[in-house]
Amino acid sequence: MFLFDGKPIILRSWDPNVKITKVSVKTVPIWVKLVGLDLKFWGVKCLEKLASLVGKFVRVDDLTLEKNLLGYAKIMVEVEVDQYFPDKIKFDDENGQEVIVLLEYDWLPITCQKCKGIGHRTNMCRGRTRVFRKPVNGPTAQAPKQVWRKKPEATVTLDPKEFPTLISPQGVVNKENPPGTVDRIAGLATPTNAKMVDKRGEGSHHPFMLKFGMWNIRGLNSDTKQRDVKWFLYQTEVVMFALIETRVKPGCLNNVVNNVCNGWLFTTNHSCHTGGRIWVLWKEQYVQVDIVEIDSQYIHLKVKDKIGDHIFYATFVYGFNNVGERVPLWNALKSWTITEPWVVLGDFNNVLYSNEKIGKPVKDAEMIPFQDMLDICELQDMKTTGAFFTWTNKQPSETRVFSRIDRVVVNTAWVDLWPDYYAHFGPEGSFDHCPCIISYEADAVQEETIQIF
């Protein structure tokens, strides 16, 4: 499997008579991690048999063959794009004892029900279903016109997956709060007759949770980026989001926020760093946010979900580029004792394993402190879909670098309460980092068709 900008590329053999046509992709290779598999099962033949429980065996990862990384065995498997992907497999060992092995996927094929393509969800599809009026027969017949259909006005019943921005006309910018405190951009009013509806169905046994995420946008001063980010926040319907590396000076802060996220509450770490390295935005009608600690490399928050009435901690991170400068970040995270659900997400500027960077070597001095912090804090990767490499330097192929420096990690309390949540890294577009959205797995099947009359 080849990757370009963190996305898989399907190649086929060259033929002089080949026709350049769109090929329907039905099978793709993916990497599968067999977590906790005993070393005695790490033989190629044994791994090939285990791979058959997921798809067609292709190969074994070099680190697994050399037994240099003992946390899990890693194999490549060819799968159908629309098949079921188990989270664990079972088999009997030589003594007849049942063995259960957990499965983790570096990425999973995402299919669109609208255009039948892969790599994006239905609600992110750029294609639109067009429905035209039939022309009237006769000499007065006219060509069909495309007109946007206006939604009828009615009493609103809010769905947690449809988070409209409700802004009071009396809302004003609070210019008195110093950087690093909660700023109110506009007053938010929830209608008294509105109610929240959880559409996950009666089969769900886990508490409701809201959508949130983060994105390293590497500068938010240009009008183009401001429009892109504003549209992204609207389209993804998140209620809490972190913008990383905004590079917005304190004097321009209010103008940029009004253009991008009018109607949100927010806090920044301008008080700890002049560049405003981290912004955290949220909608107060859905979450209550208490600021616990702000530093130049993180913003640590206590969050209450107003719908599910659950409390969790969220730490948004942007690590410094230098290995030594990240030490205070690791020490701060290790100093906290958090037993409630806890999620740590952001741009760590640090890979966890050597196979998470292509184009430049990775040293143990970079990975070991990160690994030690995760072990001490008892944090683990959240289930992930989308792009594996979350950052690229966008340079020519001979100097191109890919790395997985953006990630989401959670503690055991989080997994116990919300086991069905995953982090999706979408396409980076004109940016160099992939945006990350954390949501419930059922969101993947929510579809919406835009009709034009």
Q: What string of pLDDT tens digits covers the 453 residues of the chain? A: 565 555 566 676 777 776 666 667 788 888 999 988 888 888 898 999 999 999 999 999 888 888 877 778 999 999 988 888 898 998 888 888 889 999 998 878 877 777 766 766 676 666 544 444 444 444 444 555 556 665 554 433 334 333 333 333 333 333 344 444 565 543 333 333 333 444 444 444 455 568 999 999 999 999 889 999 999 999 899 999 999 999 998 888 888 988 998 889 999 999 898 878 999 999 999 999 999 999 999 999 999 998 888 899 999 999 999 999 999 999 999 999 999 999 999 999 999 999 999 998 898 999 999 999 999 999 999 999 999 999 999 888 788 999 999 999 999 999 999 888 899 999 888 899 999 999 986 454 343 333 322
Q: Which of 324, 405, 393 is nearest to 359 (CA)?
A: 393
The boundaries of every CATH 3.60.10.10 domain in the chain are 183-198+207-452
**Rounded alpha-carbon distances, angstroms, from residue 170 to 167, 183, 286:** 8, 15, 20
CB 404 within 8 A of CB 359: no
Extract the tokens encoding 85. Answer: 């992907």
Look at residue 347 in the predicted model and tell me its pLDDT: 97
Strand, coil or helix: 119: coil
Cα of 194 vs its chain's centroid, Å: 29
Look at residue 446 in the predicted model and tell me its pLDDT: 40
Extract the tokens encoding 398. Answer: 């001979």
Tell the residue number behind the tokens 């990690």, with chain if given: 409
CATH fold of 183-198+207-452, please? Deoxyribonuclease I; Chain A (3.60.10)
At 437, the amino acid letter reads I
Look at residue 108 in the predicted model and tell me its pLDDT: 82
Phi, psi of 375, rounded to the nearest 5 degrees: -65, -45
Look at residue 161 in the predicted model and tell me its pLDDT: 39
Strand, coil or helix: 204: coil
CB 225 within 8 A of CB 259: no
Q: Which of 361, 273, 374, 360 is nearest to 325 (CA)?
A: 273
Extract the tokens encoding 158. Answer: 């809010």
Look at residue 81 in the predicted model and tell me its pLDDT: 83
**Rounded alpha-carbon distances, angstroms, from residue 258 to 142, 173, 185, 263, 280:** 43, 8, 7, 8, 14
Look at residue 196 in the predicted model and tell me its pLDDT: 40
